[in-house]
Amino acid sequence: MERTGRVQVWAGVSMLVLCVVVGAVEGATVLAAGSWAYLVPWLVAFVGYLVTLVLASARSTPATSRGRLLLVAPPVLLINVVVLLSPSRGGPALILLVLTAAIAALHLGARGIAGVIAWNSTVVLATGAALGPLVNTANRPVELLLMTVLYTLLQAATAAMVWSQRRVEQALADLSVTHVELRSTSALLAESSQAQERLRISRELHDVLGHQLTVLAVELEVASHQVEGPARDHVHRARGLAKELLADVRSVVGTQRERTFDLPAVLAGVVEEIPRPRVHLDVEAGLEVDDDHAVALVRAVQEIATNAIRHAEAENLWITLHPDGGAVRLEAHDDGWGAAPLTPGHGLTGLRERAEALGGRVRVDGSSGFRVSVELPVRQEAVV
């Protein structure tokens, strides 16, 4: 995952360098063919294009169609201005149209992508037909058609590659979410089955073996009053052993009834093998909670991890679990974009309801990254 991240960073830097080089060439051409009256608006449009292009490349896809349109439209319209102001019938600036098609594929659906490609192709046709203010001679019809078709195909191919990559990333995210949900559910089912089995065994020990040992101790007590001589000493020792064995059985029964599942191991199993973000889990040693609180904490970690996979676009997720006075506290935060304003979905609402049912509370902050704090009150002696 680190290697993939570095590749993406270098790819972004390469594209930015390409844009700057193309801008330098085109800017010199505009200045040579026109004047500062043309260069100034060209520079404004080009710088605006770079800024909006970087923003659209880095930001996550908005949830609403209006938000997606506001994210994609500025770089598309600004590069159209840059191309139409080119005195070389588009020249190298036409390459930048291909980047806007890639941005459209990053955030829009099929119809939106097709619309951007068609719009850009119209601009290619217009600049080749000498509709720009600094172009005096139009391309021949064959050249004009060939140029338009070529850049239309380049846009379509680039958009298809980006769209396919986006689908792969979405499928990977969905698979990661399913993985987390299955691991948490299977862990809770396994612990529930083990708890039920321990309870059954403890009942059997108490009801069968415990009862028989109690009867044996009583019988040996009676026998100790009916025998004389060396045999009486053996009976007394047997009665003592029976009582010790009965005490051991009761101790085992009590231990099995009070035993809780291994919360650190369960949480580690839930978050392991998540490809992105990288999860840093820190559970304080010796932390013990009852089954109801453990289930709530496991479900909380599941919800936090799935939200980070789906929405945060983060590289790292930090989760800590530690005692805090008469409570146990779960703190989580990531290095993603966050969400401001925050609109809780069904998952966060369910997390809050589960915590409140145990007398706890949940705090969520999406202003800088995404932060979740879960506080569950427990008995003082339950927290080590």
Q: Which residues contact 333 (CB under 8 A, 6 or more apart)?
A: 317, 318, 369, 370, 371, 372
Note the pLDDT of residue 342. Answer: 63
Note the pLDDT of residue 115. Answer: 92
Between the two ends of the chain, the Cα-to-Cα distance in Å is 36
Min mean pLDDT across 101-110, 241-250, 307-316, 368-377 is at: 241-250
Q: Is the confidence at residue 382, as pLDDT, over 60? A: no
Q: Which residues pair with 377 in a beta bridge?
A: 327
- Could you read off the pLDDT of 90-124 as tens digits, one per residue? 678 888 888 899 999 988 888 989 999 999 999 88
Q: What's the chain's average pLDDT?
A: 77
pLDDT (mean) for 81-95: 80
pLDDT (mean) for 39-62: 85
Note the pLDDT of residue 384. Answer: 37
Query: Maximum CA pair distance of the chain?
Result: 131
Residue 260, classed as helix, strand or coil, is coil
Question: Among candidates 26, 57, 59, 58, which has minimal Cα distance to 43?
Answer: 26
Min mean pLDDT across 18-22, 172-176, 236-240, 299-303 is at: 236-240
Comparing 185 with 342, which gets the higher pLDDT? 185
Q: Is the confidence at residue 265, as pLDDT, over 50? A: yes
How far apart CA 308 and CA 312 sit, in angstroms, is 5
CB 19 within 8 A of CB 95: no
How far apart CA 54 and CA 222 sit, in angstroms, is 91
- Could you read off the pLDDT of 267-285 as tens digits, one per residue? 888 887 777 888 888 888 7
Q: In this structure, what token pair is assigned to residue 106?
A: 């990053």
Note the pLDDT of residue 182. Answer: 78
How far apart CA 331 and CA 370 sit, in angstroms, is 11
Q: In this structure, what token pair is assigned to residue 321?
A: 């679990």
Task: State the pairing for strand pair 361-365/278-283.
Answer: unpaired
E strands within 278-345? 278-283, 316-324, 327-334
CB 337 within 8 A of CB 60: yes
DSSP 8-state symbol, 310: I
Note the pLDDT of residue 2. Answer: 45
pLDDT (mean) for 116-134: 85
Residue bearing tokens 């100034």: 40
